[in-house]
Amino acid sequence: MGMLEDAAAGRLNDEMRLVAQAEGKSPEFIRRGIASGRIVIPISPYRETRPVGIGKGLRTKVNASIGTSSDIVDVDMEVEKARVAESAGADTLMELSTGGDLREIRRRVIEVTSLSVGSVPLYQAFIEAIRKHGAGVDMTEDELFRAVDEQARMGTNFMAIHTGINRICLERLKAQGGRFGGLCSRGGAFMIAWMLHNEKENPLYSEFDYLLEILKEHEVTLSLGNGMRAGAIHDSTDRAQIQELVINAELADRAQAAGVQTIVEGPGHIPVDEIEANIRIMKRMTDERPFYMLGPLVTDIAPGYDHIVAAIGASLSSAYGADFICYVTPAEHLALPTPEDVREGVIAARIAAYIGDMIKLSRRDRDLEMGRARRDLLWDMQFHLALDPQRARQIRAEREPADSRVCTMCGDYCALKIIKSSINLSK
| Predicted confidence (pLDDT) per residue in 239-269, tens digit | 999 999 999 999 999 999 999 999 999 988 9
Task: Answer yes or no: are the C-beta atoms of 404 and 397 closer than 8 Å.
Answer: no
Q: Cα(16)–Cα(34) distance, rounded to whole angstroms?
A: 9
What three-state secondary structure class fits 220? coil
Residues paired with residue 6 on neighbouring β-strands, in sequence order: none
Residue 426 pLDDT exceeds 90: no
Strand 324-326 and strand 291-293: the pairing is: parallel
DSSP summary character for residue 369:
H
158 confidence band (pLDDT: 50, 70, 90): very high
Pick from 147, 127, 129, 146: nearest CA to 138 = 129
Task: Answer yes or no: are the C-beta atoms of 263 and 40 closer than 8 Å.
Answer: yes
Residue 164 pLDDT exceeds 90: yes
- Tens-place pLDDT, residues 281-330: 999 999 999 999 998 999 999 999 999 999 999 999 999 999 999 999 99
What three-state secondary structure class fits 427? coil
Q: Cα(279)–Cα(322) distance, rounded to whole angstroms?
A: 7
E strand or H helix at 19: helix 14-23
Span 72-97, average pLDDT? 98
- Tens-place pLDDT, residues 394-414: 999 999 999 999 999 999 999
Q: DSSP secondary structure string, 182-197?
A: -B--HHHHHHHHHHHH
* Sign of the alpha-carbon torsion through 263, 264, 270, 271: negative
Residue 425 pLDDT exceeds 70: no
| Count of residues making up the chain | 427
- Tens-place pLDDT, residues 344-381: 999 999 999 999 999 999 999 999 999 999 999 999 99
Q: Cα(53)–Cα(40) distance, rounded to whole angstroms?
A: 6
pLDDT at 417 (0 to 100) = 86
> Whole-number mean pLDDT of the chain?
96
Strands in 321-369 per DSSP E: 324-326
Span 213-227, average pLDDT? 97
Pick from 347, 368, 324, 404: nearest CA to 116 = 324
DSSP summary character for residue 301:
S
Q: What's the farthest any 2 CA atoms get from each other in the chain?
A: 80
Residue 47 half-sphere exposure toward CB, CA atoms < 13 A: 22
Of the chain, the percentage scoring pLDDT greater than 70 comes to: 99
- Tens-place pLDDT, residues 187-213: 999 999 999 999 999 999 999 999 999
pLDDT at 423 (0 to 100) = 65
- Tens-place pLDDT, residues 28-71: 999 999 999 999 999 999 999 999 999 999 999 999 999 999 99
pLDDT at 182 (0 to 100) = 85
Residues with Cβ within 8 Å of 350's Cβ and at least 6 positions away in sequence, in order, are 62, 88, 89, 90, 387
Alpha helices per DSSP H over 178-305: 186-198, 203-206, 208-217, 239-257, 272-285
